Structure 1
Amino acid sequence: MNLYSFKKYILSAALLFSAAACDNYLDLTPISEETSSIAYSTANQIEAALTGAYETFQSSDYYVWDQILLEDVRTDNDYAGGDNPEIFAIDLFNITPTNSRVLGWWSSLYNGILKANTVLDRIQDVTDPKLTDERRQQIKGEALFLRALHYYNLAKNWGGVPLVLESTTTTDPGKIQLPRATEAEVYAQILKDLDEAAKLLPDTYGRDATVNKARATAGAAYALAAKACAQEPAHNYAKALEYIAKVEASTANYRLLDSYADLFDGNHYNNAESILEVQYTGGSEGNWAPQMMLPPSLSGDTWRKFVVPSHNLIDAYDAEGDVVRKNASVIFEKVTDWVDEYWGNAKGSSIPFAYKMKNAMGWASTDRLYILRYGDIVLLKAEALNETGDLTDAAAEVNKIRARVNLAPLTAAQTATKDALRTAILNERRLELAQEGQRWDDLKRHNLVVSTMNNLQEIDLRTGQPTQYNVTEAKTLLPIPQQELDRNPQLVQNPL
C-alpha cells in the first residue's frame, strides 16, 4: 500500500469511527448526577472540556477539509480531483442523502454542538474556588460562540435543522427525536448565542496572540454575528453594520496587513488581520489538508490532488490584472504522473494547484486556516453599505482591499449603481477569499448559485463538451443524511 492509499485508509477508518460515535448524538446513554458531578467538579476539568470543544476545529474533517469541498469545489472556484466518486458528486451537484461525506459533515457539526452544550450545562456544577467568576463567564461565552459557529455552518448548508440546546441525558424518543426548526429560527438562535457571548467575552486575553487568535473573543462573536445577519433569509444588513462597527472598535485593533502574501506565507501566524484561526502546531496537532491539494514538488508525492482551481477563477484573476492575489493563491506545475480533464488532459500539462496553504509536511502541516479574518469583514462592510444605499462609502471599503494588492480603485461604471457595485464587491470577495471557504456563501446569499453554475463554460477535454451542472434551486441545500432520517421520524428531507 503506498502512502496515499495508507493515508486514505486511516482517514476512512477515522471517519467511520467518528460517524459511528457522532451519529448517536441524540441517543446518548443517560449520565447520572453522581457521574456528572465527579466529571466536572474542578476548574481543570471544565477547562479540559472546553479544550475538547475547541478540538472540533482540528479533529473534525469539516473544519480541516470539508469546508473547502463545500465552499470552493461546489462553486465556480474549483474542480474536484483525486479518485473519490463522492467528491466528484459534490462538484457536479449529484449529492445524495447516502453520501458518506454528508453524514460526516452533519455528524461533525453536531458533535461540536454536543461538546459546547456539555460545557454550558456542566459549568454551573463547578464549585472549585480556582475557577474565578470572570473565567467562568469567559468559558460560557466561548462555548456559546462555538455552538453558534457550528449552527451557522449547519444553517447555511441545510437550512432549518434541529436545535439541540442542552446536553443529552435521556433516551426518551420524545426528547431526543427533534423536528427541524426553521432556517429563520436557527439564525435567531445563532444571534442570541453570539449576543450573549459578546457580553461575556473579552476583546483580548492579554498580549499573547497565540491565545487571542485561538480563543473566541468579543470581536470574533461580533464578526460572526455580522456574517450571520447578512446570510440569514432576511439579510439584515443594517444590523450587520452595527456588529461590524463593534469589530472595528475592539481593543484587539484588527487591521489589514500591509502585504496580502504575508497572510499565507506560513511566517505570520496570529497576525493583526486574523480574528480567529485554527492553531495547527504539527505532529498530532497537524493539518492534513495541504497534502490533499499541493503539487508534487511541494507535497512529495505523485497522486492526483483533490482540488484544482478552475479556468473561471484563473480567468477572473487575469481579467483584473490581480497578480498579487493570484500568486498567493495558486501555483502552476507540470504534472507527469496523471492527467486533468480540464487542464490539458495529457501528462506533462501545466496544472494550477490551490496554494494558500503551502506546506504539506507529511500530513502534519502547521499551515493555518482562518475561521474569521478582518479582510472578509471589510468586504462584508462594503456589501452591507451598498445594500443599505451608501455606495460612496461602500466603494471606499473595497478600494482599501484593492490598494493592498496594487489594483486601481473601482471605476465610475463599477460604482454607478447598486447592482454594478454589488457585482464588483462579489468579484472582489472572490479574488480576496478564494480557497478560504467563502465563495458558496456569497453566491447563495445573492441567489446566484443556479445562474452562476449553469452558465459556466467548462470544457471536459476528454469529450470536448461543456460540463453540465444542471443546478436547481433545490440543490442549493444539502440533503439530510439518510441515516438521520431513518433514526428520527421527526425529520423531513430537503427537496432533492
Structure 2
Amino acid sequence: MRTKFLYLFYIVLFTSCSSFLEVDPKSSLSGEGIIKDETSANAAISGVYDALRSYYSVDYQSIAYLSGDNVQWTGSQSQVQEFINNKVNPENSTISSTWNGIYRTINRANNVINALVNYEGDGISAAVKDNVLGQAYAIRGLAYFDLVRVWGGVPLITEPTEKVGDNIGIERSTVAQTYQQVIDDLNLAEDLLPSATDRFAFTKKTVWALKARYHLYQKNWEGARDYAKLLIDDQSNYELIAPYYSFFKNNVTGTKESVFELFYSANEANPHRAQWQPQTNGGTRQWAPSEELIALLTNASTAGARSQLIARDNQNRWYGDLYYRSTGADPTYVIRIAEVYLIRAEAYAELEEYNLAVDDLNKVRERTSLADKSYTTNQADLLLWIEDERRLEFAFEAHRWFDLVRTGRAQQVLGITESFRLLLPIPYSQILADPALKQNPDYSS
C-alpha cells in the first residue's frame, strides 16, 4: 500500500501542464531530497515508466502509423487526416500532445537523475541506485531519440523543470547535438545497468538493442552490426518464436521474442485496441489497414503467417488485430528481436557482406513460413528486400514512416512533393510560449 501511495505521489510530483515550459504548481518541488530510500526510488522510476507508456499508447504511434502507407484513417477529424496527407499544420493537437508527453517523460527522468546524483544518504544500496539511475538515463535517451526522429533538433533539457519559465530561452539544439544527447544517455545507462533480461524494464541488454537502432539511424553500420550481435547471440533469452503470431496471440506478454515492451493492465489500459478493433468488438476501427497493406497481408507469398495481423468484421471490413484484448492490457512492442535481426541484415548489406545479410533476412522470413531469398550481390535489391520485410514484420508497430525517412525514400514511396514535410512542425503553442524556439523551415508559424 505504501509503494502504491508513493507511486501516485510521484505521478503528481512529476506531472507538468500543457507545455514543457510550464509546471504544475503541485510539482514545483525539486526532485532532490524526495528520494530517500529504495521504496521511494522504485516508486519514482515507476512514474517515469508511466509517462513513457502514456506517450507510446496513442499519440506517438499516431504519427508513425498515419504518416506512412500501412494505415488508413476512417474517422472524420481533419487534424488526423493531415498525417495521411503528409501536410501537418503547427496547430495540430496530436503533435502538441506528443511533444508535451515526451517532455513530461524527460522531466520525470530528470527529477530521478537529479535526486540520485545528489543522494548522500545510506537508505539506498549502490546496486539499486545504479539500476534506477540507469533506467532514468535510458528512458531519457529513448525520449530524445523519439523527439529527434519527428522534429529534428530540439531543446535539450537535462535539469528538472521546477517552476514556470525555467526553460524559456533555451534554443533548439542541432540534429547532431540531439543525437549526441541520445548516445550520451545510453552510454551512461549501459555503464550503470545490470546485464539481466527484463522485457518490461531497461537493462544493459535493452540498451544494447537501442544502441543498435541508434547506430542504424546514424549509418554507423559496424556499430549497428556489433550491438545487434550481442542480442542475437543471447539465444537462451531471445529468439524468433514461431509461428509469427506467437508473440501476441492468446493474451501472451513478455515472450522470448520481446526485447522491450510496455506493460498495460485493465487498470492502466492501452487505448490502442479501441483505435483498431471494429465496433462489434467494442472499438472504433478509426485506424485500419490500407488497401495496399491488405493486398500484401492476404498474399501467402508475401505475408506467410503474418496474415494473422488482420481480420474481417461482420461487415466484411478488414481491421488490424495486433491489439485485441478486451481489458486493454495489450503491450506496446518497443523492440523485438526480429527488429534486431533486420538491423543487422541492413548493416551487413551496407557493409557489402551480402550473404550474411541474406542469412539474417531469411531467419525472419523462415519463422513466418516464407521462402528464403536467394543470395545476391545486388545491394540495391537486397536493401529493398529488407525494407519490404520491415514493412510487413512491423506492419502495426511504429517503424514504417521513420524507416522511409531515414533511408531517404519517403518522398518517392509516399509521393511527398515538399521535402520539408519529412520533419513535422514544432507545435504552435510552443512557439508562442517561447520566442527563442524557432519553427522548422517552411512551416507558417
Q: TM-score, normalised by structure 2?
A: 0.90
Conservation of the 8 A alpha-carbon contact between 1:382 and 1:394: yes
Q: Does 1:53 align with 2:48?
A: yes
Q: CA RMSD in A?
A: 2.4
Task: Select 1:91's aligned residue among 77, 84, 88.
Answer: 84
Partner of 1:71: 64
CA deviations 1:379-437 (Å, max 9, x no partner) are 1110111011111100000000111111111135xx33100000001001111110011
* Residue type at the aligned position of 2:176: A
Partner of 1:442: 403
Task: Select 1:474's aligned residue among 412, 420, 433.
Answer: 420
Partner of 1:13: none
Map 1:401-440 → 2, pairs under 5 A = 401-412=364-375, 415-440=376-401
Distance between the aligned counterparts of 2:336 and 2:346, measured in 1? Answer: 16
Conservation of the 8 A alpha-carbon contact between 2:31 and 2:111: no
Q: Does 1:104 align with 2:104?
A: no
Map 1:131-170 → 2, pairs under 5 A = 131-169=124-162
Map 1:260-409 → 2, pairs under 5 A = 260-282=244-266, 284-297=267-280, 299-300=281-282, 304-318=284-298, 321-335=301-315, 350-359=316-325, 361=326, 364-409=327-372
Distance between the aligned counterparts of 1:325 and 1:56, measured in 2? Answer: 34
Task: Select 1:246's aligned residue among 230, 234, 239.
Answer: 230
Partner of 1:180: 172
Aligned with 1:240: secondary structure? helix
* Residue type at the aligned position of 1:294: Q
Conservation of the 8 A alpha-carbon contact between 2:16 and 2:23: no
1:38 offset after TM fit, Å?
A: 4.8
* Residue type at the aligned position of 1:39: I
Conservation of the 8 A alpha-carbon contact between 2:29 and 2:162: no
Aligned with 1:39: secondary structure? coil
Partner of 2:432: 486
Distance between the aligned counterparts of 2:230 and 2:369, measured in 1? Answer: 29
Q: TM-score, normalised by structure 1?
A: 0.81
- 1:133–1:267: structure 2 CA closer, same or farther, 3 Å change rule? same
- 1:424–1:290: structure 2 CA closer, same or farther, 3 Å change rule? same
CA deviations 1:180-202 (Å, max 9, x no partner) are 11111111111111122112111
* Residue type at the aligned position of 1:40: I
- 1:478–1:325: structure 2 CA closer, same or farther, 3 Å change rule? farther
Conservation of the 8 A alpha-carbon contact between 1:156 and 1:231: no
1:34 offset after TM fit, Å?
A: 8.7
Aligned with 1:353: secondary structure? strand
Q: Does 1:197 align with 2:189?
A: yes
Conservation of the 8 A alpha-carbon contact between 2:279 and 2:285: no
Conservation of the 8 A alpha-carbon contact between 2:36 and 2:123: no
1:490 offset after TM fit, Å?
A: 1.2
Distance between the aligned counterparts of 1:288 and 1:319, measured in 2? Answer: 30
Distance between the aligned counterparts of 2:236 and 2:79, measured in 1? Answer: 42
Conservation of the 8 A alpha-carbon contact between 1:216 and 1:276: yes
CA deviations 1:97-138 (Å, max 9, x no partner) are 011111001000000000001100011344453411011111
Distance between the aligned counterparts of 1:490 and 1:161, measured in 2? Answer: 12
- 1:320–1:379: structure 2 CA closer, same or farther, 3 Å change rule? farther
* Residue type at the aligned position of 1:391: Y
Unaligned runs of 5+ in 2: 1-11
* Residue type at the aligned position of 1:490: A
Conservation of the 8 A alpha-carbon contact between 2:90 and 2:428: yes
Q: Does 1:26 align with 2:21?
A: yes
Conservation of the 8 A alpha-carbon contact between 2:243 and 2:305: no
- 1:409–1:215: structure 2 CA closer, same or farther, 3 Å change rule? same
Partner of 1:465: none
Partner of 1:213: 199
Distance between the aligned counterparts of 1:278 and 1:239, measured in 2? Answer: 26
